[in-house]
Amino acid sequence: MKTLITARGITKQFGATKALDGVDLDINAGEVHVLLGENGAGKSTLVKVLAGIHGHDEGTIEGRASLAVIHQELALVPELSVAENLFLNRLPRKFGFVDRAEMRRRAPELLERVGLNVDPNAKVRDLGIAQQQMIEIARALDKNAGVLILDEPTAVLTETETDRLLEIMAQLRENGVGLVFITHHLDEIQRIADRITVLRDGRSVGVLGPKATTQHMIELMVGRSIEEQYPRARKRPGQPLLRISNFTRRGVFRDINIEVRAGEVVGIAGLVGAGRTEVARAAFGVDDYDYGTVEVDGKPLPRNNVQAAIKAGLGLVPEDRKGQGLVLTATVGQNLELATLENRDAKRLTDVAGKLRIKGRVEQPVKELSGGNQQKVVIGKWLLADPKVLILDEPTRGVDVGAKVEIYELINRMTAQGRAVLLVSSDLPEVIGMSDRVVVMAHGRVAGELPKGATQDQVMALAVQEISA
């Protein structure tokens, strides 16, 4: 087998943090090499060193083959069109000007390849985050590089898109491309990996073969085993805390009725574009709606008023941490306290940061944290606010297996105290495993509701169902 890139003894220091400590990595032609490790283990840093974005302090890298990288944080220009983003940097030209006709001709081909059905002239800003991720993938594929590195591309994707991506990766492997793949979804690893390098605290702690069991992976990665991945502790539900009735926004969602009782976790599943995030945002007062009511603990909320929603006891962890969740120019502590400025509590703040096992200091700029740890900060902000009803929109995106369980335990603690949780998630095992019942949305409508213990197939059957208008 041909080795395309050989990295030996890579060490990288950020101030006092040793992000990488003598890591070895081989990237072979026709192989999918998975990087696995907890949040902050050094995976993204290793990718950035390979791509030449960060210099390294020690070690050697040989044979930098032509390299395409899909970074963990999206790198698209929101104000430009889909087509322009696809060809950014290498826009087709004619007589020195951008050749729009050529762009329009080639863009659909690229979108087709990743199975994305969007208008090439649409602005990227108006697309959902999963669609943006697919554009990023299409762009990287078009470079036809010898080595393709994918840093958590599936974190924001749903099953269908993930399947599509894994197919594409398998195809590239056939064609002799060397692939590096980072993900926190162990099932994906079992489906595609040829080799797994496990990182812990910047060190490579082992290389596993394709037959590795999830238990083995987890033990190597977090240094202990995890008994129960979805430790939902159910409680007898109390009075309704959140009631969304006849909720309608023309062209986006229609006739939504959802009730969440005290002590309950209700999941919302569905495909990308089913309108789940839109319902959550409108209920929280971020976006307007046409008809319907939102009641928290029996009191109706005024529309379009986030402050009133929060005062009534509602909270929302948004799906896009960089765009809507975090103030990247501020520190970890300043972000954590943002929803509780009126009654700050430094002790509880360090407490929550500790419970979430945020790897980083309270006074550290939040942009220096790894992706998964940034996500924990967004969740921590709302745990501190301790709302009666917390809406979580894709809360565990990019969070490692161990930390996910910590977050689930915190959800359990909330419901044990008589709070309620509305869990929007594209992670089917998560939404099924942690919810007491699952509402499935399709095409902006509620397609059905399933009790605890539903199967993934049942959820998917409802999610893809065509609803006559």
Partner 1 sequence: MTALNVRKYAPKKYLAENGALAGLLVLAVAIAIMQPAFLSAQNLLNVGVQAAVIAIMAFGMTFVVVAGGIDLSVGSIAALAAMVGALTAGPVGLVVGALCGLVNGALISYGKLPPFIATLAMLSVARGLTLVFSGGQPHETDELVSFLGSNLAPSLPLPLLLMLAFFGVTGLVLTRTNLGRRMYAIGGNEEAAKLSGIDVRKQKLWIYALSGLFAAAAGLVLAGRLGSAGPQAAVGYELDAIAAVVIGGASLSGGVGRATGTLVGALVLAVLRNGLNLLQVPPFWQQVVIGAVIALAALLDSLRRR
- Of 43-51, 172-180, 278-286, 288-296, the segment contacting ligand ATP by CB under 6 A is 43-51
**Pairwise CA distance, residues 179 & 70, whole Å:** 11
Count of residues touching ligand ATP (by CB under 6 A): 22
Q: Contact between 13 and partner 1 (CB under 8 A)? A: yes
Please choose which of partner 1, Mg ion, ligand ATP, none residue 39 contacts, taking the beta carbon within 5 to 8 angstroms, the exact cut-off set by kind.
ligand ATP
Sign of the dihedral defined by the CA atoms of residues 325, 328, 331, 332, in that order: positive
Q: Which tokens belong to 336?
A: 């954590």
Q: Contact between 44 and Mg ion (CB under 5 A)? A: yes
Tokens 């979580």 sit at which residue? 392
Residue placing its CB nearer to partner 1 in the complex, 17 or 190: 17
Please choose which of partner 1, ligand ATP, Mg ion, none residue 341 contacts, taking the beta carbon within 5 to 8 angstroms, the exact cut-off set by kind.
partner 1
**Pairwise CA distance, residues 81 & 97, whole Å:** 17
Per CB under 6 A, the list member of 25, 34, 40, 443 interacting with ligand ATP is 40
- Give the burial string for 112-126 (b: 16+ CB within 10 Å, else e): ebbebebebeeebee
**Pairwise CA distance, residues 423 & 310, whole Å:** 17
Q: Which tokens belong to 279?
A: 């319902």
Tell how strand 147-151 and strand 67-70 pair up: parallel
List all residues 6 or more positions away from 105 whose beta carbon is below 8 Å from its beta carbon.
Answer: none
Q: Contact between 373 and Mg ion (CB under 5 A)? A: no
Residues 374-413 that bind ligand ATP (CB under 6 A): 398, 400
DSSP 79: T
Q: Contact between 154 and ligand ATP (CB under 6 A)? A: no
Q: Contact between 331 and ligand ATP (CB under 6 A)? A: no
| CB contact at 8 A, 402 and 184 | no
Residues 352-381 that bind ligand ATP (CB under 6 A): 359-360, 368-373
Binding mask 339-378 for partner 1 (x = CB under 8 A): x-xx------------------------------------
Residues 57-116 that bind ligand ATP (CB under 6 A): 72
- Of 30-38, 165-173, 212-220, 325-333, the segment contacting partner 1 by CB under 8 A is 325-333
> Which of 436, 428, 411, 415 lies closest to 464 in space, CA to CA?
428
DSSP 301: P
Binding mask 54-93 for partner 1 (x = CB under 8 A): ---xx-----------------------------------
> Which of 265, 261, 256, 220 lies closest to 239 in space, CA to CA?
261
Q: H-type helices in 230-275, by residue range?
A: none
Residues within the interface to ligand ATP (CB under 6 A): 14, 17, 19, 37, 39-45, 72, 359-360, 368-373, 398, 400
Residues within the interface to Mg ion (CB under 5 A): 43-44, 72, 370-371
Residues within the interface to partner 1 (CB under 8 A): 11, 13, 15-16, 18, 57-58, 284, 286, 306-307, 310, 316, 318, 323-330, 334, 337-339, 341-342, 381
